[in-house]
Each structure stands twice: as C-alpha cells, then as structure tokens.
Structure 1
Amino acid sequence: MPSSRTPVVVGVGEVSERIGEPGYSRRSPVDLAADAARLALADAGVTASDVDTVACVPQFEISLPWATPLLGASDNLPRSVATRIGADPRRAVLETGGGQAPQHLVNEFAATIAAGGADVVLLAGSEAISTIGFYAGRDDRPDFAESPGGSLERRPSGLDGIVSMQHVAHGLSDTPSQYALIDNARRARRKMSRDEYASAIGYLFEPFTAVAAANPHAAAPVFRDAADLMTPTAANRPIADPYTRYVVARDKVNQGAAVLLMSVESARRLGVPEEKWVYLAGHADLRERMMAERADYDRSPAAERAAQHALELAGIASEQVSAFDLYSCFAAPVFIVADALEIAPDDPRGLTVTGGLPFFGGPGNNYTMHAIASTVVRMRAAPGTFGFVGANGGIMSKHSTGVYTTIPYEFQPSDSARIQTELDAIPAPDEAVTADGRAVVETYTVKHLRGGEREGIVLGRLDDSGRRFVARADAILDLLTDGDPVGESVTVRSTADGNVIA
C-alpha cells in the first residue's frame, strides 16, 4: 500500500476550439486554462476549494522578455485561473518557460506533496495563439488584460544558457533553423542522402498524423502520408532544410490542459476513487549545454539520460512501456530519444499519444500537459501498464521525463543532480567569436524566407585551433542546397557583419 504522502494524479482535462467551427467563442488563454482546470476537478470529483496550490505554464507572450501581448494578458495567470474556478490557493506559481515545463511541474510538485509541502496541486496552461493572431489589429478585438491581485511566485524566463546572441547575429534567431542543424548533423553521421533522410522524417511522422486525425483536440486532424509530409508545395513550403511546414510544430492553436495532483491521504479524504489514481513511477530533469558547447550536434546526452533515468527509477525497460509521447516539435528530438530508448521510429506502440506538435498542435510551452492528460487516460484504461512522457525545452536544452502507471509506487527522488554533474563535466569545445582561416563544416541549414530568399548558415571548426564558429554561408548556397557539405573544407572570414564563408 502506498504511504499517505505518496503523490497521485487524480484528474486531467483538455479543451480546444478552432476559429470558424461550431462552438468557437474566442476564449482567452485564462479562459482555456480555467475550462481545462474545471474538467480536471470534475474528473477527480473534487471542488476548487480543496486546491491549495495553483501552478501555471506561461503562454509564449508572457514568457519571452521581448514579447508584447497583442490583446493583453493577465499579470497573475495562476490567480486569474483560480478566480475563474472559485479557488483561493495559498500558493500561486508561474513556471519558467519551455516545453519541459508541464512535466517539470509534475516532477516538482510530486516531490513537494511527498515532503508534506502541499496537499492538492492544480497544474494548468494554455495558448490562444490562433485567436490572438486573428483578432490583433481588428476593431472588434477582445481585451484579455486582467489583474486579479494576490501573491505570485514568478520564476525567471529560463533563457539563460539557451539563447546565444552570437548565433542570433548570424541568422539563428528562429527555432526551426536551430533544430535543422541537429537533424542535418544526424543525417551526416548516419551517412544518409538528403532524399533518404527526408523519407525517414516523413515515415517517422506519418503515424503521428493518424493519431492526430482521431484526436478531437488536434489543430490539424488530417492524415498525411510520408510523401505528402515531405514534398514541397505552395501549402507545404520549405522552412529550413530539411524541414517543410508540415513537419514543424504548429503554434496557431487554441488549446488548454490541466492536471490535478494530490497526496494519497487527500485522495482518500476527498473520496477520489482509486481507479482514478495514476502514480509517477519515475522521473528526471536534466539540462543540455549551449549549442556551441555540445561535443556532438547529432546527440543530446541530457535528453538520453533523462529518458533512461526515468525508466531506471521505475525499474522497467522500454519494452515494458505501452504508450510513449516523445516531444516532437521537430524530427530530431524524437529520433534522438527513440535511439536512447532503443525503440524504432515505426514501433507499433507508437511514439505519440496526442498526434504530436506538428499535427495535434504545439500550444507554446504547454504541449506536454496534453500528453500527460492523454497518458493518464490510457493508463486508467489499461491498468498495470506504463506510459512514458518526454518533454523538451529550448533547442533540446531542458529535458523533463515521467513514467506513469496505475501500479502503486512510492515517490522516489531522482538522481538528476548527480547525473547533471556528470554531464557538466564532459569537455566542451571553445567557440571563436571571430573566425578566420581554413575550417571544416560540422553542420548547416538553409533558411527559406517567405519572399523566396534563402539564407545559408554553417557551424564549423577551425583547422588550426579546433574552435567552433558560426558563419553565414550565402556564398556556398548551391553546396548547402544540393551537395553534401558536412565534412567539407571551407574558408571562413570575420567581417564587420560577422563571420562569413568565402
């Protein structure tokens, strides 16, 4: 029997709406999160007055320091959600941004509950990017600004150690181009041609579209085969080689999700049926180095160890997992974690329970809250099985994992701190801010802009010092677009506008 302080997930909820469809009501991010929270409470059969802690995942426009909410936003998201549902928590937390945030919150507050620091914790998040984009600038736009008052623990943005101004200055200002560097390095390491790797991405994501097509909350519930996903068309334009629009995270969504955690003692006291209880059998939280400091661009030791350690804590192997949700903003994170878990991209169990970020939708930082909700539902439907959720923030920078099951598990602290120390001790290459001389290309991408322009970007190493550098590479666009540039010898020059490949 689990101890009285063992944390359990007892309620989950998801909501969504699409512009132009029946029932659309242009809900704000607060409305979507609150509606999902109501469903999570109803799922557990408890009232909002029982909640002592509300922790929210920030939407993009309030998690990025330079972003301005186009329709306004709450200045205390957790308190706004609490007010909507009739809760008066003693603690309100706005989490650090990043796709790891939902699973990190589960891991953190499971530990808090186990230690007696909370009894009933509501986690929620949402995005209304589709609605905000549609109404911004219109005369009939809604006003989403609100100030509920009350205390708030607002955590840092979490961009330290992720955003490199050196890389931004050379054109790596967007997420697709940075993930493309990882996928192109992986293609080269595996000695695959461009066509072979494009096919691999298509075949990876084809089953995801089938799951999304059956999910009522999916933003793009359409089945597409591998060829459709990777064939450039007017609707499926190239974004950053090797990606087309269909295989990158879809952020134009209106989606919200919530998860309710409580102690076994509280669950019994509040009368939550045991068939609703889902345990966190294993978990981990690890961080990767900055891009320029990674020993290999085609791997992520932090992602790999976070996945493995969660299973180690649960005492199971990947073969014993019945449902996976691997973070799928782009192909690289799925491939890398699947490799670490020794599961094939076409594993019949599937690699997503929602449809994935390109097809279900990527609601900002909150996607994994939906993955957790779907995993909990699956675990209840198949008692005694295990579900694995992997979450990723930044450029494969922050990793949080969880293993879920209806089998009673005492909460165990993870060994993430020790593992992080080991990861941090891995030697890191030095970076050359100004780069001159002969060099070798380590990875690359070509960005395709909406006007048809292309921008080439290379990460490489100088021959004489082995130091890393980033450079614009418009002079060798043909090689980057049609050739196989990884491993090629080039000349780099520093200029007033940054490093360039001659």
Structure 2
Amino acid sequence: MTSANVDPRTPVLVGAGQFKQRPEVPVEALEPVAMMAEALNAALADAAAPGLAKRATHTWVVKGAWPYSDPAALLNERFGIAARTGLSTDGGHVPQTLVNMACNRIAAGQADVVLIVGAEGIWSRRRARRAGQRIPYTGQTDKAPDELLGVDVVMNNEVEIERGLRDPINVYPLFESAFRASRGETVDGHRDRIAAMWESFNRAAVANPYAWVRTPMTAQEIREPSPTNRLVGFPYTKCMNSNWDLDLAAALIMCSAETATAAGVPADRWVFPHAGTDGRDTDHVSNRDNLHSSPAIRVAGRRAMELAGVAADDIEYVDLYSCFPSAVQVSATELGLGLERELTVTGGLTFAGGPLNNYVSHSIATMAGKLREHPGSIGLCSANGGYLTKHAFGIYSTTPPQHGFRHEDCQRDIDRLSSVELDAGYTGRATVEAYTVMHGREAPEAALAAVRTPSGRQWARSSDPSLMDEMQQSEFVGAGIVVNDSFEFASG
C-alpha cells in the first residue's frame, strides 16, 4: 500500500512546525498567540501547501499559562479561516490525546483539516516583569471556544496536600525511590544510572535546534549538586526536573488523505498515525496499587502496539514523556522497551523544555522529522499528565497503516485492576514504601514518605535533620517507622 491508494478518510500528519524565541530585550518578545501563529506558519511551510489553512475545519489550542479565553479564534482571524475552535483542559497528555481525537474525527468524516497548536512565553514574560515592563497581549477574556476538549481531573486529595504532596516536584521523586527499591539498586548506584540516562537526554537536546537548553552536560554535572544545580527532591537535582522557564511553540496539521492530495501536499511529507490509545491511573496517588509501576501505561501503551501490529523491538524511535527520570523508567519498563536504548528524540522536558501542557506537540513534531528522514521506520510517542495519572500513546510511520488508524480508550480494562485505600488517620508502626527529601535553596526542609499500614497507605513527614541526612545516604524503602498523632514519622 502506498500513499497514493490509501483510503480517502485515512488520517495523516502533513505539517509540523516549531518556534523558539529568546530576545535580548524580553519586552520585544512575541506574545503567545503570535508564537502560535509562527509555529503554524512553519507547519504550513513544512506541508509545502500554504493553502491548507483555508481548508481547516477545526483549530484546537493546547491550554497554556496565558489569559486568552479562545485563542483559536484569534488564530482563525489571523489566518482568515472559519474553523470551529477548541481549547483543551490541562495535562501533559493533551497533545497526543488531541491527535487521537483528530484522527477519529477525520476517519469518521467529521473533520477534514485539524490544526493543533500551543505556545508558552513564560521566559520572556518573567524577565519583562523583573524589568518593570509588560509584553502587550491581545485582549480576549470573554469569548468561549466552540468546544472544550477533555475532562478536568482533580488529582490531589486534602490529605495529600496537607502532608506536602502539592506538586510534581514532591511526587515524582517518591516514585523514583520506589522504582529504585523494586530493582534492588543501591542509592549511589541508582543515582549514577539515572544521571547517565539524563546525559543521553542532554545529548539529544544538544542536537535538537528547537531545544531550550543545548549546553552539553556530563552525568557527573547532572548528578551532583552545585550553585546552579541544587538538590530539589532527593535524588533529583534541578537538572533532573522539568523546565518550563522558556518561550516555545509548536503546531501540527492533521488531515484526511483525500484532503492532503487535493491540497497538493507532497507524499514525502505524509506521516501516518497507525494507532492511538488513552487511559489513566487512579486520580489520587494515594490509591495506586504500588508506586513503582503504572497499570495505565502497561495496558494502554501495549494496546497501542497491538493495534498497530508492532512489538517493542519493531519501534526504531521513541519519545517517552520525561518530566522526571521516574516517568521515563516506569514507562519504558511497562512498555518493554528497556532502559538502555535511546528514549527521546527531543532531549526531554529538562533540556528540550517542558512548556506546561504542550511538550508532546514538540515531541510529535520532532518525531515526524525523524520518520521522514528514515522512511518506513516506526516511532512511538507517549504523553503523561499529572502524577503518572493521565496517559496517551501514538504510533507513527511514513508507511500507511494496513487497517487504517485504530484507537481505543482503555479505561475499562485499567479500572478492573487493584487499588489501595487511603488510611488517612493511621498512627503507629508502618513500613516505608517510598520517600524523598525536599530541599530549599540552602538545606533540606522535609522528608516525605508513603507508608504502608495494615489497612492501606498513609502519608507522613519529618523535619529531623539527622533522619533526613540518613535517608539520603542509605535505602529507607522497607524500613520500619512510627507515625505519631501529628502524622510525623521517626525511625522505629
């Protein structure tokens, strides 16, 4: 089968564009909607069919840290098109979920051309504010989009927030300790390994012209704390955390095969989504069966491969969502990819950049370029929102899918799997299941721990300096502790 004789309703990615700005005078930066327009222009140029925008039936924007209420309408106005507008909910899974949604609608004849765009201008906005200046933004706060794309999920309960699990920087290092213990690694050996893995991500970023951080770094420089690389949540230094202090934009153009042909998109620009899946783990981390794995990634990720008719060893290029090392390792393990292979095409959210919800738009755009450079190869992109909570997968190739695009929402199968109850009021003896030590700029501030009780899972914390120091030197997963009435813990 060739692109010339595929089913007319086969969805195809025909344009991928990225944009990066770092002006010397921050107040001269483009506002985010203008950045989106630049990325979309790049995607149209990439498709070699400038008139394709006029055929758009839908313009969808990935939600960002800006005040526009319907940025897709602003883009429609700039490009002179009358497409239906959409704005996503929050989550790093969103771009791949939108691609899956676009493919389903295109295949069903409910859409012809879908423009998917996102941008963040956090770097320039922050620096302009520091200088007492303001980047002018287009005013728009009262227009609602035609569609709200996705469903918001409340991912923290009151107990988790109260005990210190407020943000991803608190939660992902907990997963890291649980993953380390599941493999039987030593604390130091594990730190060496994840630093080496992140060095490989840095190398990919250095080679990526759209990466935000392209300064080469060694594993040692990534691993060890320094004045510019402080510890954040042990064992993570700053250079192992997602970086959203950046100005990046990306756009994807999806359409049907018949529309691509009619618009004159050259066949060598066509990248076919073969399969996509979606699913999520328990909304609250408190209810996960364990903290070193992800049933949703296992079920939805492997199902994507089954729908595409490929095995892990058939996939030449991979970009796993990489907000923190634990996310990469859990995903690779669940998908059967192995931790030794290359797991990014961009450089990941630390180095390529983590523009809030829009990273995977960059991931897919970069993947499209890789697959075009190597026709017939297969690529997989994973997307993750929350705390290993919301997941989406896509498998791509320049070769048309034998049975058309195939998609599945895997939630029913995921929901059948076991979970754990939160034992919020428990005090007494318990066993550490996962932990981290959170650091301020000068010193460690609090140890956070997930502990197993006779009836479920409890969260506890400690600010004992000697205990925090010990927890960073030796393995505490599996250790016995005592939780007091204030839900603080001590060795026991």
**TM-score bucket of the superposed structures, by smaller chain:** over 0.9
Contact 1:17 1:24 in 2 (8 A): no
Give the AA of the match of 2:6: P
Give the AA of the match of 1:333: A
Who is 2:42 aligned against? Answer: 39
Pairing 1:51–2:56 present: yes
Contact 1:287 1:420 in 2 (8 A): yes
Contact 2:89 2:152 in 1 (8 A): no
Gaps of 5+ in 1: 62-68
What CA distance in whole angstroms lies between the structure 2 residues aligned with 1:11 and 1:423?
Answer: 33
Contact 1:110 1:411 in 2 (8 A): no
Partner SS state of residue 11, structure 1: strand
Q: Which moved more, 1:116-125 or 1:404-413?
A: 404-413
Q: Which moved more, 1:263-272 or 1:129-138?
A: 129-138
Partner SS state of residue 40, structure 2: helix
Correspondence for 1:2 among 6, 16, 20: 6
Contact 1:213 1:222 in 2 (8 A): yes
Who is 2:91 aligned against? Answer: 98
Partner SS state of residue 136, structure 1: helix
Partner SS state of residue 357, structure 1: helix
Question: How big is the shift at 1:142?
Answer: 1.6
Who is 1:378 aligned against? Answer: 370
Contact 2:27 2:134 in 1 (8 A): no
Who is 1:76 aligned against? Answer: 70
- Report the CA distance shift for 1:118/1:485 in structure 2 as closer, same or farther (over 3 A): same
| Alignment coverage as a number of residue pairs | 480
- Report the CA distance shift for 1:441/1:150 in structure 2 as closer, same or farther (over 3 A): closer
Who is 1:390 aligned against? Answer: 382
Contact 1:13 1:40 in 2 (8 A): yes
Gaps of 5+ in 2: none
Contact 1:172 1:178 in 2 (8 A): yes
Pairing 1:425–2:425 present: no
Percent of counterpart pairs with the same letter? 32
When the two structures are superposed, what TM-score results if normalisation uses the length of structure 1?
0.91
Question: How big is the shift at 1:260?
Answer: 0.2
Contact 2:277 2:301 in 1 (8 A): yes
Correspondence for 2:190 among 193, 197, 221: 197
Q: Which aligned pairs between 1:204-243 and structure 2 lie closer than 5 A? A: 204-243=197-236
What CA distance in whole angstroms lies between the structure 2 residues aligned with 1:346 and 1:215?
Answer: 21
Deviation track 1:382-411 (CA, whole Å, cap 9, x = no partner) reads 111111111111001011110111111243
Contact 2:274 2:406 in 1 (8 A): no
Who is 2:21 aligned against? Answer: 17
Contact 2:121 2:246 in 1 (8 A): yes
Deviation track 1:2-36 (CA, whole Å, cap 9, x = no partner) reads 21111111111000012439x99411111111110
Deviation track 1:51-79 (CA, whole Å, cap 9, x = no partner) reads 110011011x3xxxxxxx5xxx2221111
What CA distance in whole angstroms lies between the structure 1 residues aligned with 2:398 and 2:124?
Answer: 37
What CA distance in whole angstroms lies between the structure 1 residues aligned with 2:56 and 2:149?
Answer: 24
Who is 2:344 aligned against? Answer: 352
What CA distance in whole angstroms lies between the structure 2 residues aligned with 1:35 and 1:283?
Answer: 28
Contact 1:80 1:148 in 2 (8 A): no
Who is 1:444 aligned against? Answer: 435
What CA distance in whole angstroms lies between the structure 1 residues aligned with 2:431 and 2:95?
Answer: 39
Deviation track 1:141-195 (CA, whole Å, cap 9, x = no partner) reads 1232422876514538855242222111111112112000100001111111111
When the two structures are superposed, what TM-score results if normalisation uses the length of structure 2?
0.93
What CA distance in whole angstroms lies between the structure 2 residues aligned with 1:118 and 1:151?
Answer: 20
Correspondence for 1:488 among 463, 479, 486: 479
Question: How big is the shift at 1:471?
Answer: 1.1
Correspondence for 2:241 among 239, 244, 248: 248
Q: Which moved more, 1:267-276 or 1:77-86?
A: 77-86
Give the AA of the match of 1:276: R
Contact 1:391 1:399 in 2 (8 A): yes
- Report the CA distance shift for 1:24/1:40 in structure 2 as closer, same or farther (over 3 A): farther
